[in-house]
Amino acid sequence: MKILFIGFGNVAKEMARIFTERKLYPALDISPEVIGIFTKRHGGLENSSGICLDTVLTELRQNDRLTADERELSPLTPLEAAEKLDYDVLVELSSLSISGKGEPAVSHIRAALKRGKSVASANKGPVGFHYRELRDLAEENGALYLFESAVMDGAPLFNFCRRCMKGATITGFSGILNGTTNFILSHMEKGGSLEEGIKLAQEAGIAEADPSMDIDGWDPAAKTAALANVLMDSDITPLDVAREGIRSVTPEMAQEAVKRGMRLKLICRGSREGNTVRASVEVEEVSREDIFCLVSHYGSALRIESDLMNPNTIVQECPDLLDTAYGVIEDLITIRDHLDTHSRLPLK
């Protein structure tokens, strides 16, 4: 299976580590051949015979570059690579863009799907802004568009709904979907300030240098829109989600809630009202009887409601890069099996 990476940040590096240290994961049965790596900062590589991931990781760590071999350097842009190179799967791991409405990732994914190339992505922007278009494009061209790591860092929520809730109609969902804000709110319960919580989250590696996407609620809004679109067949965007961040929360507010037997949580919700799906991200007081109250630090949880089952809740404890990387790898395994099945089909 030939893979093209667009975006080679921490998640991609963790995937590369897993692939190069496969003996540590004896049950992992996948043999990828990476033919291209394209980044915003370091430029691009292409090698039709396969790129040595161990060498790339070493060069990035020691010399802050992708390669010492100029012959592997590519003049192509990421979009041109998606349009022209010979690969089976695009792994799209560029950053979330709200102002760009999912771009440039949407264009990368669109280019791959138009060619019948499957896509595995951890980018929630395309799912939040253009899911129907990309889903339909994948179906029209016999490809798969998978994104298990776009929400909850690879916890199998989309797979759970797709494989284990067949015939059921999802009527609503609610959850804690942003680990950074959950960590900060937990810190504020102990009397710490918002600024202190942000700094600690950054030092722990769970918050970006610019934490505004989390603090102002854009990251959970994108995840909420993605869930509404995929699970409830909505067609909303993060801009349609009623959004509230945690900037207005004070340590006193968090501590007062604890005194009342409650906890403040940034809750994402989706619900159906007639033919319309309403979505929101808001700070709420959660009772200690609610399972969400137990989610501390940078954990996450999602409660799924349907017409044929009582609510099911998926809880993820303190996910890290391994979780996110595995979610993308599991998508790759699904795509690998899809390619194997279709290659064995008789010609009509």
- pLDDT tens-digit profile of 124-167? 999 999 999 999 999 999 999 999 999 999 999 999 999 999 99
Where is pLDDT greater, at 209 or 307?
307
What is the distance between the alpha carbons of residues 270 and 167, in angstroms, rounded to a whole number?
Answer: 20
Q: List, by residue range, all CATH 3.40.50.720 domains of the chain.
A: 2-155+322-344
What is the distance between the alpha carbons of residues 320 and 201, in angstroms, rounded to a whole number?
Answer: 13
- The yes-or-no verdict on residue 211 having pLDDT over 60 is yes
Tokens 């959660």: give the residue.
Answer: 286
Instruction: Quickly state the pLDDT bin for 123 (edges 50, 70, 90).
Output: very high
The residue among 82, 107, 86, 111 whose CA lies nearest residue 33 is 86
- Give pLDDT, residue 275: 86
Say which amino acid occupies 334. T
Backbone φ/ψ region at 205: left (φ over 0), alpha (ψ -120 to 50), beta: left
Tokens representing 53 are 């991931």
Sheet containing 262-273: order of strands:
242-243, 276-287, 262-273, 170-176, 300-306, 312-316
Q: List, by residue range, all CATH 3.30.360.10 domains of the chain.
A: 161-318
Q: What is the largest CA-CA distance in the chain?
A: 69
Instruction: Quickly state the pLDDT bin for 122 (edges 50, 70, 90).
Output: very high
Instruction: Quickly state the pLDDT bin for 344 (edges 50, 70, 90).
Output: low
Return the minimum-mean-pLDDT range out of 183-187, 259-263, 316-320. Answer: 316-320
Q: How far is CA 243 from CA 182, 222, 348, in A?
A: 16, 10, 51
Instruction: Quickly state the pLDDT bin for 208 (edges 50, 70, 90).
Output: confident
**CATH superfamily of the domain spanning 161-318:** Dihydrodipicolinate Reductase; domain 2 (3.30.360.10)
- Give pLDDT, residue 343: 65
- Give pLDDT, residue 56: 96
Tokens 């440039």: give the residue.
Answer: 104
- Give pLDDT, residue 340: 85
- The yes-or-no verdict on residue 169 having pLDDT over 80 is yes
Say what the pTM is: 0.94
Q: Hey, how many other C-beta atoms are within 10 angstroms of the C-beta on 100?
A: 14
- In the annotation, is 101 catalytic? no
The mean pLDDT of 309-320, rounded to a whole number, is 93
- Give pLDDT, residue 50: 95
Quick one: CA torsion of 208, 213, 214, 217, rounded to 10 degrees? Answer: 180
Q: Return the CA Rg of the chain.
A: 21
Instruction: Quickly state the pLDDT bin for 304 (edges 50, 70, 90).
Output: very high
Say which amino acid occupies 175. G
- Give pLDDT, residue 345: 46
pLDDT tens profile 56-68: 999 999 999 999 8
**Catalytic entry in 84, 223, 259, 348:** 223
pLDDT tens profile 43-53: 999 999 999 99
- Give pLDDT, residue 210: 87
Asked if omega into 104 is within 30° of 0 (cis), the reply is: yes
Where is pLDDT greater, at 71 or 16?
16
The mean pLDDT of 307-317, rounded to a whole number, is 95
CATH of domain 2-155+322-344: 3.40.50.720
- Give pLDDT, residue 348: 39
Q: What is the mean pLDDT of the chain?
A: 94
- Give pLDDT, residue 346: 46
